[in-house]
Structure 1
């Protein structure tokens, strides 16, 4: 399986997936940590993919999304954005609404 196929499979087979540095239990950069905090606060079930474990995935996800930075959040196969976008959407209440529109349970919805 190619890196692109692996990424496409992760995005398609998980309702919410974040490609990040580190793991949800141990983020290894502040931006990944912020996204994990937001998702955990909302109580959303998600999968974390550690790009530090594989350089091909680390580069491949940037090419897959045509987005230069990590973390990257995907919801129901759709690329949502990186840390700044996720934080802004969360603060505006848009992220919670987006999850709900996609049929994803949100515990901390305002």
Structure 2
């Protein structure tokens, strides 16, 4: 299975998935920590992928989304953005509405 196929499978089988550095319990960068805090505050169920554990995924996700940085959030198979976009959407109430509209399960 190619890296793109692996990423597509992860994105396609999880309603919400965050590609990040580290884990939700031990984020390894401030941006990933901020992204986790937002998702936890929303109370939605999500999966995470530690890109530090898989260099193919770490590079491949940037090509997959055509977005150069990590973390990256996907909701129902659609790329949403990184932590700055997540924060802007959260502060505007848009991220909460996206989760409701997408019928994302609560944690």
Deviation for aligned residue 1:12: 0.2
User: What SS does structure 1 have at the residue aligned with 2:49?
Assistant: strand
Give how far 1:87 is off. 0.4
Distance 1:106 1:12 in 2: 18
Tell me by how many angstroms 1:106 deviates. Answer: 5.3
Is the contact made by 1:72 and 1:81 (CA closer than 8 Å) also made in structure 2? yes
Q: Which residue of 1 aligns with 2:35?
A: 35
Which segments of 5 or more consecutive residues in structure 1 lack a partner in the other structure?
none
Instruction: List structure 1 runs of 4+ shifted beyond 2 angstroms.
Output: none
Distance apart, 1:82 and its partner CA: 0.4
TM-score for the superposition, normalised by structure 1: 0.94
**Matches of 1:105 and 1:45 in 2, distance apart?**
6
- What residue in structure 1 maps to residue 103 of structure 2? 103
Who is 1:89 aligned against? 89
What is the CA distance between 1:2 and its match in structure 2?
1.3
Over the residues paired in the alignment, what is the CA RMSD in angstroms?
1.1
> How far apart, CA to CA, are the structure 2 residues paired with 1:22 and 1:70?
11
Aligned to 2:65: 65
The question of whether the paired residues in 2 share the 8 Å contact of 1:99 and 1:106 is answered with: no
Q: Distance in 2 between matches of 1:12 and 1:89?
A: 22
Partner of 1:25: 25
